[in-house]
Structure 1
Amino acid sequence: MTSLTTQVHVASVGHPTYCQTFPCEPSTAEVGRQLLRDVLGIWRLDELADHAALIVTELIANAARHTPCNEIRLMVERPSATRLRVGVLDRAPTSLPTLGEADVDDESGRGLLLIDSVADRWGYDLHGSGRRPWAKEVWAELRIKDAA
């Protein structure tokens, strides 16, 4: 079980950020959801937990399924007082996410569709130089209601 007492990076300036590196495998989603719920509890944003947990699950599943990476970095951030951002960084910058269509009988292929339905916005950022990125972060944001 993961808690915030394990190796979690906390930004010392600006808006709060928690991040941790995990194995790039589907079982990481459970640990990632727990880390997320711990962070949301600290920030008193428990009302976002269900949608944010769905986002974490799908982002981790997509990284595990569509990249050859051994590790991913899960990030939970507050880029502003009114936004929660959940992201997964992997070292497969050429494997870009696309919003696809799944047939009724398909057992997979709906991850980004689910994220698109619950998030206020989502996307990806490449890390590194424009000509030779070394990683990508796929992220989704939720609006924080009644932010002070």
Structure 2
Amino acid sequence: MPQPTTRARRTGHLGYSETLPREPQSAATARELVRDALTAWGLNDLAEDGALAVSELVSNAVQHACRESIRVVVERTAARAVRVAVADFSRAKPAVREAGDGDEDGRGLFLVAALAADWGTDERRWGKVVWADLEACG
């Protein structure tokens, strides 16, 4: 089982990341990583929003990406802000779409947009990184 890695970031805080298999069960591991990082930083009030956002990003990567792995990254970007991100090997950009009343999926990025102060996609030569920035109140 892969272990999460930590690395000091420009903000002076450790960043957390883990490479996971591109399978639905990885969403649970990603949620745990986000909760652990936010607890370590004393940002417990962001833990549930962060866990939900990363779960949706992982689910999107599992459904639409290629290759067998994804990478989850959690970074503290400011005293009361974090970025959760999922890197995958697909260059196809995600898009928020309107889900119908009977649709069982299609609401993930809409939910991420509602939870996050900002979200987006950074293109890479090998694929992309989809991220969500979360900010704590006060």
Scaled by the length of structure 1, the TM-score of the pair is: 0.86
Matches within 5 A, 1:40-59: 40-59=38-57
**Based on CA coordinates, which of the two structures has the bigger radius of gyration?**
1
Give structure 2 stretches of 5+ with no counterpart: none
| Alpha-carbon distance between aligned partners in 1 of 2:10 and 2:84, rounded to the nearest angstrom | 17
Aligned to 2:96: 99
Answer whether contact 2:26 2:58 (CA < 8 A) is retained: yes
2:4 aligned to 4, 8, 12, which one?
Answer: 8
Answer whether contact 1:73 1:89 (CA < 8 A) is retained: yes
2:137 aligned to 125, 135, 145, which one?
Answer: 145
Aligned to 2:29: 31
Answer whether contact 2:45 2:136 (CA < 8 A) is retained: no
Deviating more after overlay: 105-114 vs 72-81: 72-81
| Alpha-carbon distance between aligned partners in 2 of 1:68 and 1:13, rounded to the nearest angstrom | 28
Q: Which amino acid aligns with 2:21?
A: P
CA distance 1:65–1:14, change in 2 (3 Å)? same
Matches within 5 A, 1:45-124: 45-93=43-91, 95-124=92-121
Aligned length: 136
3-state SS in 2 of match to 1:77: strand
Q: CA RMSD in A?
A: 1.5
Scaled by the length of structure 2, the TM-score of the pair is: 0.92
Give structure 1 stretches of 5+ with no counterpart: 128-132
3-state SS in 2 of match to 1:98: coil
Write the deviation string for residues 119-139 of structure 1: whole angstroms up to 9, x where unpaired: 111001012xxxxx2121000
Q: Which runs of 4+ in 1 moved over 4 A?
A: none
Alpha-carbon offset, residue 81 of structure 1:
2.4
Write the deviation string for residues 39-67 of structure 1: whole angstroms up to 9, x where unpaired: 11110111101111110110000000011
Answer whether contact 1:81 1:144 (CA < 8 A) is retained: no
Write the deviation string for residues 77-105 of structure 1: whole angstroms up to 9, x where unpaired: 01222321000000112x11111110010
| Alpha-carbon distance between aligned partners in 1 of 2:32 and 2:49, rounded to the nearest angstrom | 13
| Alpha-carbon distance between aligned partners in 2 of 1:143 and 1:47, rounded to the nearest angstrom | 10
Answer whether contact 1:75 1:88 (CA < 8 A) is retained: yes
Q: Which amino acid aligns with 2:133?
A: E
The percentage of aligned residue pairs carrying the same residue is 40
